[in-house]
Amino acid sequence: MSILVTGAAGFIGFHLSSRLLAKGYHVIGVDNLNNYYDVRLKKDRLTQLKQHNNFTFYQFDLGDYDELKDLFKMEKINIVINLAAQAGVRYSLQHPHTYIHSNLVGFLNILEACRHHPVDHLLFASSSSVYGANTSVPFSTKDSVDHPVSLYAATKKSNELMAHTYSHLFNIPITGLRFFTVYGPWGRPDMAYYTFTRDILEGRTIKVFNNGDMRRDFTYIDDIVEGIIGLLDQPPAINAGWNPSDPDPSTSKAPYKIYNIGNNNPVSLINFIRTLENIIGKQANIQLYPMQLGDVKETYADITDLYEAIGFKPKTSIEEGLTKFVTWYKRYYRW
Ligand SMILES: NC(=O)c1ccc[n+]([C@@H]2O[C@H](COP(=O)([O-])OP(=O)(O)OC[C@H]3O[C@@H](n4cnc5c(N)ncnc54)[C@H](O)[C@@H]3O)[C@@H](O)[C@H]2O)c1
């Protein structure tokens, strides 16, 4: 069984690939190793993956359709997990074109490749950010998500629409996963838990937006990986009971399904910082700022669907997850 993981040198792609390799799958990793954040971290993740002889890596950009076509001709691919994307909400205000290139053109190329080389299952990363201006919590996949508040979110919502179209037209079984603030060792240096840890350790001031009045459904990486793996052999079936006059947005007459994959237990930013301070053993110097453009106040996942499908139940508390992150951070940066 061969699984293509795009964004394999990224945070989630690395952890997912590691687990798949340990389970004996042949993992084909693709990544362009762009410099959105420290490339050394991406290369170090890859070094770990390359220790497995069931791992094959290709460095290219998903925007290059010829490269992707060649890959699908060369390798027999059973499952595709598309994680490659330009991530980050705030960066999308300054670098919009990167998002269109990687998230829309890149994803279209993945869909086209799966159209011409049928796969058993295509899974792709969406995001909790699609809930945008919604305030009714917990966020449910049954809610309408037509009010994104960042271009990043708009590209993720677009991915869901493009996926549904290809699923409908070409009968491709596609699952979209709305990830909720994923954190853990080997994480993303642009995310708050990472910069807070660095700044507290180095005695620098941390920037806290919306005066700390924010809540995030922080989800530990191992729980995310568990959820993705549980879904691999559960390609969505056509929902015969789907009612076009009262359409459930998360399912369809096409083999298409959208899930939330989150912790179902939001934590306030201030409690999050207090937990981090306790683990590090040092107080943070906090500077309060107003809400940032593109940000949302709260995220909170309703995970009923995923529980019903695969018994998904996140196991890692914020204390345990952050302790693992800080331990890794100190070792990696030799603190
Ligand atoms: N980490 C989170 O909290 C979170 C939350 C919601 C959604 N997501 C989504 O999950 C996916 C994985 O996120 P992550 O946190 O691992 O991010 P990441 O930035 O660590 O990983 C993405 C990887 O994709 C690669 N990449 C980007 N554009 C590419 C392109 N055009 N061609 C080839 N490779 C490309 C990057 O080099 C990177 O290694 C992304 O789609 C992201 O939008 C993540």
Residue 73, judged by CB atoms within 10 A of its CB (0-12, 13-18, 19+), counts as exposed
Neighbour count for residue 181 (Cβ, 10 Å): 21
CB distance 301 to 129 below 8 Å: no
* Cα gap 79→91, rounded to integer Å: 30
**68: confidence class by pLDDT, cuts 50, 70, 90:** very high
**165: confidence class by pLDDT, cuts 50, 70, 90:** very high
Q: Across residues 189-201, what is the average pLDDT? A: 98
What count of Cα atoms within 13 Å lies in the side-chain half-sphere of residue 206? Answer: 29
pLDDT at 250: 98
Instruction: Copy the structure tokens of residue 238.
Output: 């056509």
Cβ of residue 68 lying under 6 Å from some atom of ligand 1? no
Neighbour count for residue 259 (Cβ, 10 Å): 27
pLDDT at 176: 99
| 267, β-bridge pairs | 216
Cβ of residue 179 lying under 6 Å from some atom of ligand 1? yes
Nearest-CA residue for ligand 1 atom 7 is 127
**179: confidence class by pLDDT, cuts 50, 70, 90:** very high
Give the distance (Å) from ligand 1 centre to CA of residue 242: 32
| 286, β-bridge pairs | 206
pLDDT at 154: 98
**75: confidence class by pLDDT, cuts 50, 70, 90:** very high
Q: What is the DSSP letter of 290?
A: P
Q: Which of 131, 179, 225 to mutate to test the pocket of ligand 1 (most atoms within 8 A of CB)?
A: 179
* Cα gap 248→46, rounded to integer Å: 40
CB distance 129 to 159 below 8 Å: no
Digit-coded pLDDT (tens) for 97-111: 999 999 999 999 999
Digit-coded pLDDT (tens) for 249-272: 999 999 999 999 999 999 999 999
pLDDT at 186: 98
